[in-house]
Structure 1
Amino acid sequence: MAEDHDLKLVELLLRNGVGLNLADEDGHTPLHYVSETGVDSPKMLFKVNDELNQLVQVDAQDKWGRKPLQWSVANLKPDMVDVLLDRGADLHIYNIF
């Protein structure tokens, strides 16, 4: 139930101008956080982004050079890995996690 509430809040934020490419002080974008937690929001994030005709940087790197795909693999989130690959995430990752 809390997760459903969180998804609605995230959707509200996205629809009101909060972008998926904004990063915090560590370079983490909302996509990094979703990749780490593995909640069902990745599909919703991309759905809303597509509706708003916004681009998402699926290969955005944090300050350690880690991409959302790496976070998804490291946290054993196969559904998120599939979503990122479907959205064009680059498989060529050169840094060590």
Structure 2
Amino acid sequence: MLEQSILACISAGCFGSLFSLLQRNSTVPLNLTGGGFYTFLQSLFICVLGALSGAALYLLCISGLALSVAKENLAMLTVFAMIAGFSERMIPDLFNKMQKEQQE
């Protein structure tokens, strides 16, 4: 059960990050001069970051530090992991917004 739970959270986080990528598809900067391999690495990094978000949420939930209501409910846990993957841009966007506000 433990392996299934963590794999479900990692997959849901990756899936959520793909939704995030599709949602902001018009604003994703791609450097096409580096070739197709660079574009592939950029896309892969977004998926890996979403998967890591899902895994981190799983660890936080199982340890009881956060979202302990989802500890026994795998469906709820995967939904939260998908949300964590979807918000993979939340922290960098927040820092960029704070930096712009300080520069003004």
Q: Where on the TM-score scale, by shorter chain, does this alignment land: which range?
A: under 0.3
Structure label with greater radius of gyration:
2
TM-score, with normalisation over the residues of structure 1?
Answer: 0.22
Q: Which has the higher contact order (CA 8 A, sep 6+)?
A: 2
TM-score, with normalisation over the residues of structure 2?
Answer: 0.21
